[in-house]
Amino acid sequence: MKIICIGRNYVKHAQELNSEVPTEPVIFLKPESSLLRKNHPFFYPEFSENIHYETELVYKINKVGRHIQKQFAHTYYDEIGLGIDLTARDLQNKLKDKGLPWELSKAFDFSAPISKFISKTKFSEQNGISFLLKINGEIRQQGNSKNMIFSIDDLIVYISKFFTLKIGDLIFTGTPEGVGPVKIGDNLQAFLEGEKMLDFKIL
Ligand code: ZN
């Protein structure tokens, strides 16, 4: 399986990083070895001094497809979860400055804590899907799928022009504003429509 991640999919997050608001989705990948499941702790790696949290809605692909048309895009997923796109911001800024790929700062081991998944039938498209992150009990990020620049269906259309989507692939849909550093000892809890989905520690 593969993990496809979207950068800068919320206007206010692009602005907080002084990035341009994109006219096409910004795409990068994480390998399967980046997954961190079952609320296992995240061990702070030695190669960074500025690991940031990015809380994101994650969609799980349920059938194989390429060149998917927009009207069928919604049939390629039926479960939604939450993930944290952990990012070594110091390393990413160095790579960005040199025009180099981001992988070292985004795709390292356990950089993708992931929750369980919930049936999409539990959510209403009208109101969007809301989510939030608490660190040590304090709200740090609040997002809603309504504020995504590219909807999940737009993303599936775009991604599937380049990559065959396969069963079990995950799409991390980008983070809202409020990103910031984690530190050793922090407790991260992420909620999807009020339901606790993630609860793990930084060690
Ligand atoms: Zn992200």
Domains: count for the chain: 1
First-to-final CA distance of the chain: 28
Reduce the DSSP state of residue 63 to 3 states and report it.
coil
**Distance from Cα 189 to the centre of ligand 1, integer Å:** 17
Residue 127: its pLDDT value, please? Answer: 81
Range of the domain at 197: 3-201
Q: In terms of C-beta density within 10 A (0-12 exposed, 13-18 middle, 19 or more buried), how is residue 38 classed?
A: exposed
Residue 135: its pLDDT value, please? Answer: 98
Residue 14: its pLDDT value, please? Answer: 80
Residue 154: its pLDDT value, please? Answer: 97
**Distance from Cα 83 to the centre of ligand 1, integer Å:** 9
Phi, then psi, of 32 in degrees rounded to 5: -60, -30
**Distance from Cα 54 to the centre of ligand 1, integer Å:** 5
Residue 152: its pLDDT value, please? Answer: 96
**Distance from Cα 69 to the centre of ligand 1, integer Å:** 25
Residue 103: its pLDDT value, please? Answer: 95
**Distance from Cα 166 to the centre of ligand 1, integer Å:** 21
Regarding pTM above 0.75, the answer is yes
Residue 124: its pLDDT value, please? Answer: 82
Question: SS3 for 136-194, per residue?
Answer: CCEEEEEEEHHHECCCHHHHHHHHHHHCCECCCCEEECCCCCCCEECCCCCEEEEEECC
Residue 20: its pLDDT value, please? Answer: 82
Residue 158: its pLDDT value, please? Answer: 98
**Distance from Cα 175 to the centre of ligand 1, integer Å:** 5
| Burial letters 60-76, b for 16+ CB under 10 A, else e | bbeeebeebeeeebeeb
**Distance from Cα 179 to the centre of ligand 1, integer Å:** 9
Residue 16: its pLDDT value, please? Answer: 86
**Distance from Cα 144 to the centre of ligand 1, integer Å:** 15
Q: What is the pLDDT along the chain (203 residues), one digit of tens a residue?
A: 999 999 999 988 888 888 888 899 999 999 999 999 999 999 999 999 999 999 999 999 999 999 999 999 999 999 999 999 999 999 999 999 999 999 999 999 999 999 999 999 999 877 899 999 999 999 999 999 999 999 999 999 999 999 999 999 999 999 999 999 999 999 999 999 999 999 999 99
**Distance from Cα 68 to the centre of ligand 1, integer Å:** 23
**Distance from Cα 123 to the centre of ligand 1, integer Å:** 22
What CATH number is attached to the domain comprising 105? 3.90.850.10
**Distance from Cα 56 to the centre of ligand 1, integer Å:** 7
